[in-house]
Amino acid sequence: MKKYVSGVALLLAVLLLTVSAYAANDMFLFGPQVKKMDSGKVNKEVDLDKETSGKVSVHQKAGGKGTVEDSKKTSGKVLLNGEKVNVTEVSTFNVKKLIQSQSPQSSGMEATYSINDTLAADELGMYGDAGGNPWSLTRGETVEISLSWLPSDADLQVGLIDSDNTFYYVTFSDSPSSVQLTVNEADSYYVGIINVDTGDVSITGYVNI
């Protein structure tokens, strides 16, 4: 009887030691095994301006808005978000003057004019009202210009031309693009578009005044 009791006690001791050993290693004889995960945080910077490959990709937003080039001359006669825009004289470009017809969406104090044109390299399109005349704009009035073009990676200079043939512009680099310019000095203005690419560019869009 004593041998039997001693044998049982020895068996229980072995089982107890085995369970303790597995517990020390986060494992159990019964039930699923559980792994401990490191709770340390890993910080990783992601460049949102670049496209990434894999299951999740980050892309730049298609299209864009007009930009002002700091390296070029600027003027405050026309503003973009309260800031000066680039300026140049139109006499240095091949000028192509077009008459624009008023679109059916015109109503009230605002009117929408369509643009459907092809510009050669270094050609400037001047766009007026239904009679081909410039718009008389007062200080604080806004002009919205929205364009799509092909080839879509061509650069365009887009803006307003005053009565002195001075061109106040921003640069479009991604089709489609739009900009809202604010007149800071009353004058008569055409909308101007210069194709600064090396080949022909086909342009469609509208002007909202």
Beta strand residue intervals within the chain, DSSP E: 64-65, 74-80, 83-89, 94-98, 112-119, 123-127, 135-137, 142-150, 156-161, 166-172, 177-183, 187-195, 201-208
β-strand pairing of 166-172 with 83-89? antiparallel
Sign of the dihedral defined by the CA atoms of residues 106, 162, 80, 194, in that order = positive
Q: Which of 151, 156, 181, 172 is closest to 64 using CA atoms?
A: 172
Predicted model pTM: 0.65
The number of beta carbons lying within 10 Å of the beta carbon of residue 146 is 18
The pLDDT tens digits along the chain (209 residues) read 555 545 556 555 555 555 454 444 444 333 333 322 232 333 323 333 333 322 222 222 335 678 888 878 888 899 888 889 999 888 878 888 776 655 545 555 678 888 999 999 999 999 988 788 899 999 999 999 999 999 999 999 999 999 999 999 999 999 999 999 999 999 999 999 999 999 999 999 999 98
Architecture of the CATH domain 64-208: Sandwich (2.60)
Residue reference for tokens 């080839």: 151
